[in-house]
Structure 1
Amino acid sequence: MPVQRTFLGRPLPPMTPKRTAVLLSTIAVFAIFTLVFTLPNSIPAGPSLGRFTDHKIPLPKLPKTLSPSILNPFRQAAHAPPVQKNSTSGEASWYSNWNWLSPFSSSVTLDENRSLLPPLIDRPPIYTYYDHTLQKENDLKEAENAILVTWRRAWWAQGFKPVILSPAEAMNNPLYAELQMLEVEPYLKTEFSRWLAWETMGTGLLCNHLLLPMGSHEDALLAFLRRGDYPMLTRFDNLGSGLFAGSKADIAAAVKQALSNKSLKDAKDFITAVKPKTFQIEQRHASLAYYDSTTVKEKYSKVADEIEADGPRGLMTLNKLTISHLHTTWQNTFSKGIAVLKPQPKYMTAAIESALKLAEFLTQCPPSPLPSSCPPNNNRCKPCMASHVLKITTPEVYRNASDLYTIGTVPHPFTTALMSSSKDISEINIPWIRRKSKRDPWLTTITAELLGTGVSGPARVVKFKDAVASQYGTAHSLWITAEKDMPEDLDWYFGFTIPRNATDRGESETPVPGPERRPKIIPDPKDGPVVSEDEILKEKALLKSAVEFGKARTPEEEKIRKAIEAWNMADTEAWRFARAFLERNRMERLKWEEEERKYAGGKAGAERGKNEGWGRWFDDR
């Protein structure tokens, strides 16, 4: 029989295993509490026992100042990275850092409104020489200036920094005085002045303004030239003095060698004034098109005859021809056409209207004096004709294809919520956002084909940023925001003048056909439902309300905007990133243009009157 235990003469109840476990647990908790909080304070302080008892387990404490980051508000507050120069434009602000592919910018910038962008890539300089001091007729100057603008746009779009040199740079060269004492022909003296100006500037490319890049952004030669490292002084076979590449040391050595040539009077140009081994001759240059007088006479006799009959008018015709070839080369690069992203097609027709019209203009055949001609470097091009028109599609998803150009319109999450719900602004409140609206619907939709449906928002943001801001992405896509007008400087983005009207498609038409003659885009049923005119009008009204809401907000409306941004963190990050990236590109070009106005008389290569912008194209919006 079990032993009956007693306490003070009274029998104790039997100890079951469950009661024993509870008793032992209580004793253990009491013992630990006593050791941690009582024993260290009861032992006198002293060196002999300090290493055993003079340590306390600190209790966790919340920081007095919380981090502003919504991702981790309990993190210790830290100073935000310093504001960089030229990093703000309107409401957009950014911070350039190699960690730009972080899903959320605020994890680095510690500022919800500051986007994390990739560092600006150094543009290697490409120089051309133009003597603006010569006395010429105004018509001739205007024609030459138009050619210089085309040259600048084409090279800027390919990632270079085009710079126009003048006699001022040549005069700054110590060898200029020696050149003036030589008895050589005027054309040869001009050629030497060109090289002296190049040597003054240093390492880079020296280009004739009639030589243009006619190839894809990924072309091997253009990629090599963009690196800006030229180990040897190089010229290109069959291009004459069209393009040179070299370092400052090699340029200086070649100039000194030419000036010391005792037979300089017999030289035809700079190439014949130096030893043949001075240059490394590059055979491959399929992406370069040189419109020198010899090429124009052989391939485009009609233009050559016009130049001979009327110089200014002929040069304007030549400029129009080169622009059409640049446009044709772009169309040939993206043979599968243009994809205008249209996620949630039931209610995003009005939001993508500007992007769709831009696609229409890009698919048009540019005005050309020779519509069926090809660039001099590509005799097998496919000229733009009515029988071969680029296709415009409006898919819901983004597709990463090298021969497909993408135009994406990124809406703010509030715009998406307003247009998808078809509600009045007053009906969008925090309970509706939390209970009925979907999270990150725009970004989830466009990345569904690439990443599937089971991927979280941060991974989708990284994929989106790569599509927008990587070197490959910038050459194959354009991303704008739904709440702003189309940028005014897209000619510089694409590298050619975009037709502002639906013009010649390879057939005989009126010079400027009206809107009724524009080719109609037949929607593909695979791209989603086609909305009616009444629905489009309703969408435009909702979009206008979203734009006005974004400009001025009451404290209560600001609270709603913050709530919807917090609920759609991935969509908000994508919108801010696209806005900041586009604004930074614009500021980079404007800053460069402002700097270049100081040189070459401030007029060479400058746009006359500036184009009207894109706002007038979309007056019906």
Structure 2
Amino acid sequence: MPVQRSLFGKPVPAMVPRRMAVLLATIAVFAVITLVFTLPNSIPSGPSLGRFTDHKYTLPKLPKHIPSPSILNPFRQAAHPPPVQKNSTSGESKWFSNWNWLSPFSSSVTLDENRSLLPMLIPRTPIYTYYDHTVEKDAGLKEAQNELLLTWRRAWWAQGFKPIILSPAEAMNNPLYVELQTKNLNPQLKVDMSRWLAWENMGSGILCNYLVLPMGGQEDPLLTFMRNGKYIKLTRYAGLEGGIFVGSSAAITAAVKEALGNKERLKTATDFIGTINEEADEDSKTFDVDPNHESIAFYSNKTVTEKYPKIAQEIIASPAKGLLTLNKLINSHSHSTWQKRFPKGISVLKPCPEHMSSAVAPAKKLGDFLAMCPESPMPASCPPNLPKCTPCVSSTPMVVATPENYKNTSTLFTIGTVPHPFTMAVLTAFRDNIDVRWIRRESERDPWLAKITQVLLGTGVSGAPRVIKFKEAVASEHGRYHSLWVTPEKELPHDLDWAFGFSIPRNATDTGKSETPVPGPERRPKPEADLKDGPVASPEDMKKEQELLTRAVEFGRARSEQEEKLRGAIEAWNLADTEAWRFARAFLARSRVERLKWEEEEKSYAGGAGSERATSEGWGRWGDK
């Protein structure tokens, strides 16, 4: 039974709920009308507010349009985007280099959703070598020397330098070349003097033999000093003979003039150093001799004879074949030196690992190749600058793990595969028929970036700070030498040798031959607890993953109007993941454009020596072969 209400002993009639709602709405409307029409009239006239004007106080006048720098401001005035920079496009990748590259979202600066904001390109310090391509040589010998020059260029480029090959053309362009021709010199000295004239013609920088290579990390103090490009004194390095010099333009010119003016020493000297008086006072010495050069390896005739007699004998018997063998030895030493820099191994990121095996397969294959012991004519040998190294064949094999999270440590090399949000969605959902409803109601926001930065930032952090951490991992001074970031929608670049500074092994198959011992999976130690491998998909799941990945690649190439809307929806729902994908793609593309532009400029000099010969061998998809 309903309860009967009473007031002063008299029953109160019950009110129907609908009538109550109408009553309350009427009261509310009446109250609003009363306030609107009666409140202005209730303000008294007179100087109640005029006292502010009496004391010369003025109320601030607000502008009609309040400007806001926020990109989220819907009333923001239209602005022209920054001018498009030269060489800032490669395929679908577009970028804009700016000091403000750590802005979470590039479009706030570029005003272009498809143009990524990248750090400014760091100027590369030139490092010169001298090669006389005009001398008549056997075709095999010329090809072997070209391979050595290519190895030299690749190693110094990976260290952040700009390797340039000089020739007699630069020497003849020097005004002092005429004076050199008037002197009767030892042929060996004349070549060395021509080398110095070519260097002096170019100005300051580094001059070295093309058998001098960097064998150390990018953080090495000597390599860091050389990259800075600021040299006060003309410096040579004890024990490296005339292998490498650094100096300013004025110091180089002074040294060349001193050498050409020393008539007595020119009669007996066989190299440039022999023409310099090094017995002078400390303050007036031409050269500053530095004994510290642990990160520089010089494969001189003397060093090869003493440390690698097998190769020295082969060079004597067949110069072309011997130099190719020496080139293979240098490459193996560079590879082993790189491996020693990362004792914790290689981390191939695999976030949300249940169905990401196919997407990260190329990166995993690259990691396996990098962890291999390089093929070497002398497997137990060490670089000249590291006589007490541990050869790869006798050391603990390099670990290759597939953890979910990124770890910022200098002892671990990271290979990250950054998927487009659509690729991530179809793989994690394990279906290709996703729609806007599924994106909005069932998918998580920015799942890839949230997972890889979970160790760095934890949970409950928005996408903006995660994007900043990711950009630092990709493009900071530390990050670009300790990681490589690719996208699964495109094949891995075929020229990754230039990023590492050595030729990466391309053949991991068993041919049945007895080769240099290579650590297999059974010999490799288990990864640490924080570098656990993710689950590996079954053959059936791998087949479906590959189909979904193919669908994602096709979706990225050509889209119908409906698919275009779907792409816009998934990118808007995953702003941070989209920014990370575009940033990684653009950073890798710009690195390639920078190198190709440099190669295009250099191929016109020194007869194109040191160029990379065209080959039919391609990388293809790393995981397919």
Into which bin does the TM-score normalised by the smaller protein fall? 0.7 to 0.9
Counterpart CA distance in 2 for 1:103 and 1:214 is 36
Contact kept, 8 Å, 2:379 with 2:516, in 1: the verdict is no
Q: Does 1:354 align with 2:355?
A: no
Q: Does 1:216 align with 2:226?
A: no
Q: Secondary structure at the match of 1:527?
A: coil
- What is the aligned partner in structure 2 of residue 536 from structure 1? 542
Contact kept, 8 Å, 1:332 with 1:381, in 2: the verdict is no
Shift of 1:530: 2.9
1:30 pairs, out of 28, 34, 40, with 40
Q: Are the structure 2 counterparts of residues 358 and 54 from structure 1 closer, same or farther at C-alpha, using a change threshold of 3 Å? A: closer
- What is the aligned partner in structure 2 of residue 272 from structure 1? 274
Shift of 1:180: 0.4
Counterpart CA distance in 1 for 2:60 and 2:185 is 92
Whichever residue aligns with residue 90 of structure 1, its letter is: G
- What is the aligned partner in structure 1 of residue 122 from structure 2? 121
1:608 pairs, out of 600, 606, 613, with 613
Q: Are the structure 2 counterparts of residues 70 and 434 from structure 1 closer, same or farther at C-alpha, using a change threshold of 3 Å? A: farther
- What is the aligned partner in structure 2 of residue 8 from structure 1? none
Whichever residue aligns with residue 302 of structure 2, its letter is: T
Q: Does 1:490 align with 2:496?
A: yes
Q: Secondary structure at the match of 2:239?
A: coil
Q: Does 1:247 align with 2:252?
A: no
Counterpart CA distance in 2 for 1:101 and 1:59 is 32
- What is the aligned partner in structure 1 of residue 5 from structure 2? none
Shift of 1:512: 12
1:424 pairs, out of 412, 432, 437, with 432
2:381 pairs, out of 373, 376, 379, with 373
Matches within 5 A, 1:384-533: 384-385=392-393, 388-425=396-433, 428-502=434-508, 509-510=514-515, 519=521, 526-533=532-539
Whichever residue aligns with residue 275 of structure 1, its letter is: N
Counterpart CA distance in 1 for 2:314 and 2:380 is 18
Shift of 1:617: 4.3
Contact kept, 8 Å, 2:158 with 2:499, in 1: the verdict is yes
- What is the aligned partner in structure 1 of residue 346 from structure 2? 338
Shift of 1:471: 1.4
Shift of 1:503: 7.4
Whichever residue aligns with residue 263 of structure 2, its letter is: K
Counterpart CA distance in 2 for 1:323 and 1:120 is 28
Which deviates more from structure 2 when the two are superposed, residues 351-360 or residues 361-370?
Answer: 361-370
Q: Which deviations, in whole Å up to 9, do the C-alpha atoms of 1:236-259 show, x marking residues without a partner?
A: 011011000011111111001100
- What is the aligned partner in structure 1 of residue 98 from structure 2? 97
Q: Which deviations, in whole Å up to 9, do the C-alpha atoms of 1:179-212 show, x marking residues without a partner?
A: 0010011111100000000011111000100000
Q: Are the structure 2 counterparts of residues 29 and 128 from structure 1 closer, same or farther at C-alpha, using a change threshold of 3 Å? A: farther
- What is the aligned partner in structure 1 of residue 140 from structure 2? 139
Counterpart CA distance in 2 for 1:440 and 1:319 is 46
- What is the aligned partner in structure 1 of residue 19 from structure 2? none
Q: Which deviations, in whole Å up to 9, do the C-alpha atoms of 1:405-448 show, x marking residues without a partner?
A: 000000001111111111223xx221211111100000000000
Counterpart CA distance in 1 for 2:193 and 2:397 is 46
Whichever residue aligns with residue 140 of structure 2, its letter is: D
Counterpart CA distance in 1 for 2:263 and 2:75 is 78
Counterpart CA distance in 1 for 2:515 and 2:214 is 31
Shift of 1:71: 3.6
Q: Does 1:570 align with 2:576?
A: yes
Q: Which deviations, in whole Å up to 9, do the C-alpha atoms of 1:584-620 show, x marking residues without a partner?
A: 000000000000011001x310112247332164445
- What is the aligned partner in structure 2 of residue 13 from structure 1? none
Q: Secondary structure at the match of 1:509?
A: coil
Q: Secondary structure at the match of 1:587?
A: helix
- Where structure 1 has 5 or more consecutive residues not aligned to the other structure, the ranges are 1-20, 40-48
Cα RMSD (Å) of the superposition? 3.0
Contact kept, 8 Å, 2:366 with 2:622, in 1: the verdict is no
TM-score, normalised to structure 1, is 0.88
Counterpart CA distance in 2 for 1:547 and 1:22 is 59
- What is the aligned partner in structure 2 of residue 328 from structure 1? 336
Counterpart CA distance in 1 for 2:405 and 2:288 is 47
Counterpart CA distance in 1 for 2:595 and 2:316 is 36
Shift of 1:74: 2.9
- What is the aligned partner in structure 2 of residue 43 from structure 1? none
- What is the aligned partner in structure 2 of residue 594 from structure 1? 600
Q: Secondary structure at the match of 1:530?
A: coil
Whichever residue aligns with residue 612 of structure 2, its letter is: E
Q: Secondary structure at the match of 2:236?
A: strand
Whichever residue aligns with residue 131 of structure 1, its letter is: D
Q: Does 1:561 align with 2:571?
A: no
Q: Does 1:297 align with 2:305?
A: yes
Contact kept, 8 Å, 2:171 with 2:197, in 1: the verdict is yes
Whichever residue aligns with residue 217 of structure 1, its letter is: Q
Counterpart CA distance in 1 for 2:619 and 2:609 is 25
Percent identity over paired residues: 60
Whichever residue aligns with residue 614 of structure 2, its letter is: G
Contact kept, 8 Å, 2:407 with 2:456, in 1: the verdict is yes
Q: Are the structure 2 counterparts of residues 60 and 371 from structure 1 closer, same or farther at C-alpha, using a change threshold of 3 Å? A: same
Counterpart CA distance in 1 for 2:436 and 2:56 is 56
Q: Are the structure 2 counterparts of residues 575 and 274 from structure 1 closer, same or farther at C-alpha, using a change threshold of 3 Å? A: same
Counterpart CA distance in 1 for 2:258 and 2:183 is 14
Whichever residue aligns with residue 189 of structure 2, its letter is: L
Contact kept, 8 Å, 1:158 with 1:217, in 2: the verdict is yes
Q: Are the structure 2 counterparts of residues 215 and 522 from structure 1 closer, same or farther at C-alpha, using a change threshold of 3 Å? A: closer
1:307 pairs, out of 315, 331, 336, with 315
Shift of 1:502: 2.4
Counterpart CA distance in 1 for 2:510 and 2:295 is 26
- Where structure 2 has 5 or more consecutive residues not aligned to the other structure, the ranges are 1-30, 279-284
Shift of 1:27: 8.0
Contact kept, 8 Å, 1:342 with 1:394, in 2: the verdict is yes
Q: Are the structure 2 counterparts of residues 402 and 62 from structure 1 closer, same or farther at C-alpha, using a change threshold of 3 Å? A: closer
Shift of 1:120: 0.3
Q: Are the structure 2 counterparts of residues 23 and 446 from structure 1 closer, same or farther at C-alpha, using a change threshold of 3 Å? A: closer
Whichever residue aligns with residue 552 of structure 1, its letter is: A
Contact kept, 8 Å, 1:328 with 1:382, in 2: the verdict is no
Contact kept, 8 Å, 1:208 with 1:242, in 2: the verdict is yes
Shift of 1:150: 0.3
Shift of 1:522: 9.4
Matches within 5 A, 1:65-76: 71-76=72-77
Shift of 1:403: 1.2
Counterpart CA distance in 2 for 1:395 and 1:99 is 31
Contact kept, 8 Å, 1:487 with 1:613, in 2: the verdict is no
Counterpart CA distance in 1 for 2:111 and 2:319 is 59
State how many pairs are aligned: 579
Q: Secondary structure at the match of 1:76?
A: coil
Whichever residue aligns with residue 338 of structure 1, its letter is: I
Q: Are the structure 2 counterparts of residues 451 and 419 from structure 1 closer, same or farther at C-alpha, using a change threshold of 3 Å? A: same
Contact kept, 8 Å, 1:341 with 1:397, in 2: the verdict is yes
